[in-house]
Amino acid sequence: MELGLKNKTALVCGSTQGIGKSTAIALAKEGVQVTLMARNEDRLKEVIQELPGKDHGYLVADFFEPAKLQKTISEYLIDHTGFHILINNTGGPRSGLIKDASLEEFRKAFN
């Protein structure tokens, strides 16, 4: 299926299994340069080998450590221009706007 995404860039959070992994593979098949993001580096390395195409990358980050997450993204953006597509497959708080959610509400969503 041609979706017109060739040469776009995507960040897929929560991309080592399930929906996130399947989304990353589907985007790569469309010619998207995919950056995977998750907590487990070993699993990220496994998934990146499954992506068709080249020039894919990954970031090791944990959404429960906001300062480290911000640092990881900031360091990545030094050498990259950003992303055309963002897939947030990490879960989140139960209701309301994500911008209004506290870190504790996110923690509860994962436990």
**Per residue in 35-76, pLDDT tens?**
999 999 999 999 999 999 988 999 999 877 889 989 999 998
Helices 18-29, 41-50: axis angle to 10 degrees equals 40
Q: Is 104 among the domain residues?
A: yes
* Residue 101 binned pLDDT confidence (cut-offs 50, 70, 90): confident
Contacts of 84 (CB under 8 A, 6+ apart): 8, 9, 10
How many domains, in total, are found in the chain?
Answer: 1
Q: Is 74 among the domain residues?
A: yes
Compute the average pLDDT of residues 2-13. 89
Whether pLDDT at 30 is above 70: yes
The CATH number of whichever domain residue 63 belongs to comes to 3.40.50.720
* Residue 94 binned pLDDT confidence (cut-offs 50, 70, 90): low
CA distance 12 to 95: 22
What was the pLDDT predicted at 96?
Answer: 65
What was the pLDDT predicted at 22?
Answer: 96
- Residue length, the chain? 111
Q: Is 2 among the domain residues?
A: no
Q: CA angle 68-69-71, nearest 5°?
A: 65
Q: Is 56 among the domain residues?
A: yes
Give the domain extent around 34.
Answer: 9-110
CA distance 31 to 29: 5
CA distance 28 to 51: 6
